[in-house]
Amino acid sequence: MEFKHEIKGQILALRLTGDLIGEDNGAAIIEVVTDALQKKVPICIVDISGLRYINSAGIGVLITILTKFRNKNGEVYLMKPSESVQKLLVITKLNNIFHIVQSESEVIK
């Protein structure tokens, strides 16, 4: 899996591509999240449109991101899940925990 990140004002934008299966990238993503929270960034948008697959370790990474932001009164948005990832979110009922959006403009509203 590969990921890119940037801070745009009050938003941390993460773009994940490939397979989110924990591995070493999970720790690197959490490090980026921690740095953003130290800079008082309250919102995280995780673009998951490029994810093909997520396993339980990958779900753990997403939940860790959500927990860290909510503990600081922030919020996490998952953007544009693919059909297979959307099905996984529904099966695991994570669609009830995360805000799922189709564009950044939905978050800015």
Map out the domains of the chain as residue ranges: 2-108
Mean pLDDT of 53-82: 95
pLDDT digits (tens, 9 = 90+) for 38-56: 999 999 999 999 999 899 8
Q: What string of DSSP letters covers the chain?
A: -EEEEEEETTEEEEEEEEEE--HHHHHHHHHHHHHHHHTT--EEEEEEEEEEEE-HHHHHHHHHHHHHHHHTT-EEEEE---HHHHHHHHHTTGGGTSEEESSHHHHH-
Mean pLDDT of 77-93: 93
Q: Is the pLDDT of residue 23 over 90?
A: no
Do 54 and 20 form a contact (C-beta atoms < 8 A)? yes
The model's confidence at residue 108, banded by pLDDT at 50, 70 and 90, is confident
What percentage of the chain reaches a pLDDT higher than 70? 100
Instruction: For the domain covering 2-108, report its CATH number.
Output: 3.30.750.24
The two structure tokens encoding residue 98: 């995360």
Only one residue has tokens 């591509």, namely: 17
> Residue 24 has what pLDDT?
75
> Residue 60 has what pLDDT?
92
Chain Cα centroid distance, residue 99: 10
Q: Is the pLDDT of residue 109 over 80?
A: no
Calpha distance 52→68 (Å, rounded): 25
> Residue 1 has what pLDDT?
87
